[in-house]
Each structure stands twice: as structure tokens, then as C-alpha cells.
Structure 1
Amino acid sequence: MTLDDLRVFVAACESGNLSAVARELSRTQSAVSQHVRRLETELGLPLLERRPRGVAPTQAGRILHRAAVQGLGQLDLALRQLRDLRTGDRGTVRITTGATTMRHFMTGAVVRFRREHPDVNLEFRTESSSRSCFDALAAGEADLAWVTIGAAVRGIEQRPVIELPWVLAVHAADPLAERTLIEPADLSAIHPIRLPGNSIARARLDGELGYLQGPTTSVADWDSAVLLAELGLGHAVVPALPGWRAADLPALRLIPIPALPPLPVGWAVRQWDALSPLAREFADSVSSHAEA
């Protein structure tokens, strides 16, 4: 029993005429009859009843016809979806990342990608840390993860896209606000607003500065840290994210800390070569916008 046998049989049931099926499929009537006989021989039951003006399915034929129509319909749908994935016209791209990534790194790329691929599903999953993003990739729950690049993770490939310089976010009335740059030694007296302990960015910063002393406030993301600094509730050492503009933050100052090594961010995947064309195109689009 082959798919070709089933397709010919379904066409014969729906047409009721073997000659018409032969013309439709550009085959001889003898070849059409051979497909049906092969099925009947394999199943040991007559499937078509020959009549003076054509053919009609037997009881066994009706059973097989119903099953074949459903099965072939699902198979044709799956084959179309696979062709779409191969050519990049449809499909789903699943992205996992932190809460602020969309705003700062992906807005322009998402708009462009959506215009170019209106039928593609984009699924975004927010995680609290890069480590959680790695877990989602490992579990097969995401295709791409935008992360802070860190130590090698088994089974995960990381590709840096850009490096973010560090800045000190302070209220405009803070004594440090008039500085043109901040040295690491200047941070010993600040009231730090810190990211969670499981953050790769926090671990990298602690490795450079040590644990900052004084009363602290902990937040889940960089935007929250900057907001608290703007309210005058502490000082935030944060990477300079795209989208933070002085005109939009009149009560805030972002002062460079050039002595700190920049923070690399970019993509993580299970295997680059195994990404769908859509996922690769999305990743390349985000990378281009971020680099620009």
C-alpha cells in the first residue's frame, strides 16, 4: 500500500469513473485499475463495485475512503507546512529573553520582520535571567534567546552581537551628576540598586567591583533600576541600553564608567546550523538593528 495507491483510490471513489480519474491524473485506465487492485489484494476485500456506468465504493471501500481522506488531508497539510518552513514563508519563531530586551533591542527588527512575514508566528517568552533562557533552550521551549553572554554552557552556542558600556544612573540633583565620567573607586560610597544575584550582569559587575557596600535595593531588570535612580532612591550601575535618551529622562544623568569592561550581549541557541530559515532571518535582523 502506497500513498499513490491511496490517492488514486480516493479519486476513484469521488469521481465514480476510472476513465475520468485516468484523464485527471494523466495516466492510463489500466494503471488506475492496477492501483485499486493492489489495495484489494493487500486488504483481501473488494473496495470498488464495478457498475455499467462507473464504479462505487463497497462497504470496505467506504471505510478505507473515510480514513484515507482524513489521513491524506493531514499529510498534505503537514507537507505544505514543511515546504513553508523550508522556503521561509510561514512557521513560528520562539524567542526567550529578559523583560526589557524587546524595548531596547528588538523593536525595529520586530516591526520589519512582521511586515515582511505577516503569516509567521512570533512567540516571546520572558525569563528573569540569562540562565533561565539557557534552560528554556535546553528544554526545546525556544529557538532563540537574547542573553548576556557568559561562560560556556553545555549544549548551548552563544554569539555576541554588541558590547554595552557601563554607566552610573543618578538623579540630576545628586552630587555625582556633574561628573563627566566615573571611576570605579568613586562607587564605594554609592547606595547601589542591584540586579538579582542570579544575573550574569550582576556577577560580572561584582567580579569587577566586588560587593558594593551600603544600603541596597534589588530589582528584576535594568529599566527598574534606572527608574529608581531617576526617583533619587539610589545609584544604578547599568549597561548603556539603546533607547535611554537624555531628552526622555530629564531628571536622570547617565555618566560613563570607561574603566569597566563592556558587557557583551547577543544570541544563544542550541545549534545554529539547525535553526529554521525564519529563525535565522529574525536573529540576523535583530543583530543588524542592534549593531546600528
Structure 2
Amino acid sequence: MNVTLRQMRAFVEVVHCGGFTAASRRLHLTQSATSLLVRELEGQLGLQLLDRSTRKLAVTEGGAEFLQHAERILGEVEQAIRRTQDLVQMRRGRVTVATTPVMAATLLPDAIATFQAAHPAIEVRLSDAPVDVILRQVQQGEVDLGVGVFTGNEVELNRSLLMRHPLGAMIPSAWPLARRRRDLAWADLASQPMIVVPQSSGSLPQIDRVLHQSGIAAEPRFEVHYLWSAIGLVEAGLGIAVLPSYAGLLARSKRARFRVLHDPVVYRKIELVTQPGRSLSPAAASFRAHLAAHCKQFEERG
């Protein structure tokens, strides 16, 4: 059996319009084409749906029962099409994003706010988690997008660069290094009390390597687990912390100043990861493009 939606649509319109002539106008078909569709449907079903005469058209008992099912099927198809078009035209949808706590407090809020201002019907859900959890959530399809600094290739995911950000020093504003006019070099950190954050997006090995190449044997004065703690200690005048540039947005006062470190300038990559072989929804694809543009603007502003 090969019953088609065109056949069912023709039958339903003929019944609703009370005849083939009016139904044909609704369907934008000739009367003979409409009649042929209904006859093909009856042939497929092995059942006469309409009693035809020169004076009137009547629905058979079997036709009345089939009409109910046909109307329901056509209604569900139309609803499915409308809801799909809502997704395509961004009138409905949801995006799930996993990122690190620092990026959830710095880069992502403005990006989400401007995206939702442009697409108020799209729901954006954000979860903050460690890098290993982000990778697992993306790999298992629990979230659409993952955003962070990913150092290894232990998980095969689609990766795209959002922005590069330099490492720099967060310095108490009253200290001479914060007010120095020339570029600040890694060598300038020699003999300075250091505050280290071992879990700062995997930056510590890279920081240690550059310090070693600059001839600096840094002995940390404080070792903390969170960037917020490091910045608080800096604001209290207790030391210098080497942090990624976006962490400067976490400073709560003017008591600390972020300076990019030179000789060399060391960059970290913020990447977006998605699950291989999984197509993004229109909402998720649109947010990915919006976030990329937002990060580009942030990078250009320095």
C-alpha cells in the first residue's frame, strides 16, 4: 500500500468543500487531477470513500471513518512542519553550553545577553564545570557546545579557535611594576612575591617553563585553587599573580592592574568543542557564530 499525503489532502478538501470543483480551487489543481487523487486513494484502500452522483456527493460510512484519521494525520504533519520552521527561523529553540567557572563569569555573560536580546525566544542554558567534565559532557551529547582552554587531545572532538589571549601579571596598583611605562617582561618578575593558581586552566606548566627560560626561580608566597582567591590577594597587596588576560575582568576594584607580559608574549587558546558527527540545531549554530564574533571583538579590544 502506498497512500500519499496528496491523496489524503485531496479527499479531505473534497469533503470539506462539498465537491470536486471547489476543492480543486483550494488545491490549485484541475478537477480531473483532484478526482484522480481520490480514486487512487480508494484504490489503495480497497474501499469507496465517496458516493458520486450528478446531484450530490456523499461520504460513505467507511469514508467518514477514514476522514477522521486523515484529518488527524494531516494536522500532525502540519504541526510538525510549523514547529520545524520555528526552529529554522529562530522562533523557538534551546542551546546548552558548558564552560569553565572563570569564563562563565567573564566572557560568556555578555555574549549570552546580546544573543538573547536578538533572539528572545531561544533559551540558553549555561553550566560551569572543570575542563574534564566539559569534555565528557560534549562527548556524551549532554551539551551542545563546550568552551575552554583544552591542552590535550585525549578526547576526539571537533575543535575551533575562538580567540587567543595573552598571559599577564595581575599586580597591586600601588606597586612600581604596575605603574611602569614600558612593557612588562617576564624577567621583571624576579624576586617578586608570587601567587600561583595550579588549576588556572592548565597554565601553570607553561608559566613555569617561561619563568625558567627567563632565569627566574619563582618561590610562591601563596598557592590557591581559584582565580578569585589570587586576585583578592593581589588586591590586598600581597603579591603578583600570572593569569590569563580575561581573568582581569574579575578584578573587583582598582587596587589591582593587569599587565600583559612580554619577551615573550605567551598566548593561550580559547576553543569551542562539539561532538563529532552531531549536527548542531539552528539555535546552537547561531549561538556558536555569535560567540565567535563576540570573542573576536574582545580580542581586538585587547
**TM-score (norm: length of structure 1):** 0.74
Q: 2:253 aligns with which of 249, 254, 258?
A: 249
Cα distance change of structure 1 residues 203 and 42 upon mapping to structure 2, 3 Å threshold: farther
Shift of 1:25: 1.0
Give matches, 1:1-292, under 5 Å.
1-48=3-50, 53-56=56-59, 58=61, 60-83=62-85, 91-119=93-121, 121-152=122-153, 154-172=155-173, 181=184, 183=186, 186=189, 190=193, 192-194=195-197, 196=199, 199-202=201-204, 204-205=206-207, 208=210, 213=220, 216-219=223-226, 222-223=227-228, 225-231=230-236, 236-241=241-246, 244=249, 249-258=253-262, 259=264, 261-270=266-275, 274-275=279-280, 276=282, 278-292=286-300
- Which deviates further from its counterpart, 279-288 or 186-195? 186-195
- Which deviates further from its counterpart, 273-282 or 153-162? 273-282
Shift of 1:170: 4.6
Cα distance change of structure 1 residues 17 and 243 upon mapping to structure 2, 3 Å threshold: farther
- Which deviates further from its counterpart, 14-23 or 47-56? 47-56
Cα distance change of structure 1 residues 271 and 87 upon mapping to structure 2, 3 Å threshold: farther
Letter in 2 for 1:196: Q
Shift of 1:239: 0.8
Output the CA distance in 2 between the equivalents of 1:243 and 1:57.
77
- Is the CA contact (8 Å cut-off) linking 1:164 and 1:239 kept in structure 2? yes
Question: What SS is found at the alignment partner of 1:8?
Answer: helix
**TM-score (norm: length of structure 2):** 0.72
Cα distance change of structure 1 residues 217 and 284 upon mapping to structure 2, 3 Å threshold: closer
Letter in 2 for 1:9: F
Deviations 1:178-222 (A, max 9, x none): 77746368478746352538x434454456569965652212xx3
Question: What SS is found at the alignment partner of 1:278?
Answer: helix
Question: What SS is found at the alignment partner of 1:218?
Answer: coil
- Is the CA contact (8 Å cut-off) linking 2:94 and 2:125 kept in structure 1? no
Output the CA distance in 2 between the equivalents of 1:156 and 1:103.
25
- Which deviates further from its counterpart, 210-219 or 73-82? 210-219
Structure 2 segments unaligned to the other structure (5+ residues): 213-217
Shift of 1:263: 1.6
Structure 1 segments unaligned to the other structure (5+ residues): none
Question: What SS is found at the alignment partner of 2:249?
Answer: coil
Output the CA distance in 2 between the equivalents of 1:63 and 1:288.
61
Deviations 1:112-161 (A, max 9, x none): 43344343x14232232333322222222333322214333543232323
- Which deviates further from its counterpart, 267-276 or 34-43? 267-276
CA-atom RMSD in angstroms: 4.0
Cα distance change of structure 1 residues 214 and 280 upon mapping to structure 2, 3 Å threshold: closer
- Is the CA contact (8 Å cut-off) linking 1:193 and 1:217 kept in structure 2? yes
Question: What SS is found at the alignment partner of 1:263?
Answer: strand
Output the CA distance in 2 between the equivalents of 1:91 and 1:165.
35
Cα distance change of structure 1 residues 122 and 287 upon mapping to structure 2, 3 Å threshold: farther
Output the CA distance in 2 between the equivalents of 1:207 and 1:174.
25
